[in-house]
Amino acid sequence: MQLIKNLLFSIAIIFSGNIIAQQLPLPLQNDKEVRARSTSLVCKYLTPTRVVWTSDNNSGKYVINPEAILKQGIGQADLNAGSYLQLKSDENNKGGIILDFGHEIQGGLEIITSMNNKNPAGRVRIRFGESVSETMSNIGEQGGATNDHAMRDFVVTLPWLGRLTVGDSGFRFVRIDAVDSDVVIEIKEVSASFSYRDIPYQGSFRCNDERLNQIWLTGAYTVHLNMQDYLWDAIKRDRLVWVGDLHPEVMTINSVFGYNDVVPKSLDLARDLTPLPNWMNGISSYSMWWIIIHRDWYRYHGDVKYLSEQKTYLAQLLKLLSEKIDKNGKEVLDGMRFLDWPSSEDPEAIHAGLQSMMIMAFEAGEEICKILNDRETERLCQSSLTKLKKHTPNLTQSKQAAALLALSGLVPAQKANMEILSQNGVHKMSTFYGYYMLNARAKANDFTGALNNIREYWGAMLDLGATTFWEDFDIKWMENAARIDEVVPAGKTDVHASYGGYCYSGYRHSFCHGWASGPTAWLSQYVLGVEPLEPGCKKVRISPNLGDLEWVEGSFPTPYGMISIKHVKEADGSIKSTIDAPKEIKVIK
């Protein structure tokens, strides 16, 4: 009897988390273990929005009643007969169907079978896809489909008159095929089990350009999907805490969701997994991003207690970085020397970027050390900055390097913008460093140029059917490209299979990557115009930059509540602003 009681306690704890843990004794595990495995995720079941494709071209011979699967299910098998989806097969043909769930999601698939099946019902092959074409691919063949990090192509046996929930990946489309010959498999319901944080979009952005509105929302949604138990880079691949990826994601979270514990939880994980003198994720720039993120997180949320928990590690990390400067003030960082993938074969650009990042990291470190009253490390930051500013790398043709040189102050922003960033439209932009290119153009007061970059570059992904932003994108991919939400027509280019490089070749390419969300944070900061001036947004500057826009309105989350903002461009070009902020916040215009 005691074993049964212990088992029931264990089950209750698993499903109710800290509430039960705080109220009842835990016979099987301690409080710390329960908290470590608690989750803020919820599950919602989604009905397919359309049938994209059937293996028999809708002849009804091998795929019967396909439209029946679009009816909203209840998640329960029953004894009633009905007109349900049937997948038939013979020696030469296997019934198959591709379903669209309307938007990219993170989760799995629930299949409910009817009583009109054998026992078991039979085997089906399931393929998740971020594009239609990915569901039609095979592992290891042309296009490079994989099961890396998340199983997205596998065979399962369906029960008779029952339910099976399978899968854990990022996808929008699902293909289901009968596997064996001479079978009829009847499926009552198919639903996507959508795993996400049920949190409000507190921040908002609207303007007279609907394309920008859609881009802002898409960036927000991209990060939202990656806010799993930890803050991932992507929901299909890699599903890891990559610290460089975190910076644009965190800036988006600041603008959209406000405080969320997924950020400190992920920053702490990176710290705890990286004993010094190692670099986070093996990449020196990612350890520097960790410092910059902490400075920015504090500016927005003002949690000095949490910041103080980083004091010892931060001081040791800054000392390690100070040892990577030569006598001429040039960075000599070891580990993986990396900015982003498109710039990874350009050593001169990488050096320029790392030199700039060293300055940005020590400036952030100096600011934090003042707050934490660590005078010794503050002086170390100051002396390191003096050394680093003696060396100015060449302004190469790399937009990544130009952006960081401008943001660090090594090169005037106007010069970097005029000579590099404003040239050749959105060619040579990247989804990750595009955010810093936009920031550098803002520093150069070229807001219309930045807005046009957002419309053309991130907007092009929407034109191809994207509902989230991608790991990488090149505007040249638009030529003769098929949409990702359709079967690729003859003569058109399959963007997903044909492009990508490095770690994201072909179907391995992630189509929901948090580092691509930069326009969301940028539009809130520079167009809506919100900039924290004191920790926790006690004082904020609201300075709109409408560029070619006529009006913009929105909201911005702070620890004291929402700031509501509207800016309208008058006939003489002046801006009329209406701002409603919590009484605890001082607003500077």
pLDDT digits (tens, 9 = 90+) for 388-415: 999 999 999 999 999 999 999 999 999 9
* Exposure string over 310-320, b if 16+ CB within 10 A, otherwise e: bbebbbebbee
The whole-number pLDDT of residue 142 equals 87
pLDDT digits (tens, 9 = 90+) for 514-570: 999 999 999 999 999 999 999 999 999 999 999 999 999 999 999 999 999 999 999
CA 108 to the chain's CA centroid: 18
184: three-class secondary structure by DSSP: strand
Asked if pLDDT for residue 24 goes beyond 50, the answer is no
Confidence of residue 39 (pLDDT cuts 50, 70, 90): confident
Tokens representing residue 356 in the block: 């700039």
Which of 204, 189, 226, 200 minimizes the C-alpha distance to 74? 189
The angle at the Cα of 91, spanning 86 to 97, to the nearest 5 degrees, equals 35
Confidence of residue 5 (pLDDT cuts 50, 70, 90): very low
Lowest mean pLDDT among 31-40, 211-220, 281-290, 467-476: 31-40
pLDDT digits (tens, 9 = 90+) for 301-343: 999 999 999 999 999 999 999 999 999 999 999 999 999 999 9
Which of 115, 189, 127 minimizes the C-alpha distance to 159? 115
Asked if pLDDT for residue 470 goes beyond 60, the answer is yes
CB-CB contact of 410 with 226 (8 Å): no
d(CA 198, CA 383): 46
pLDDT digits (tens, 9 = 90+) for 249-300: 999 999 999 999 999 999 999 999 999 999 999 999 999 999 999 999 999 9
Please measure the distance between the N-terminal and C-terminal CA atoms of the chain and give it in whole angstroms. Answer: 69
Asked if pLDDT for residue 9 goes beyond 70, the answer is no
Confidence of residue 43 (pLDDT cuts 50, 70, 90): very high
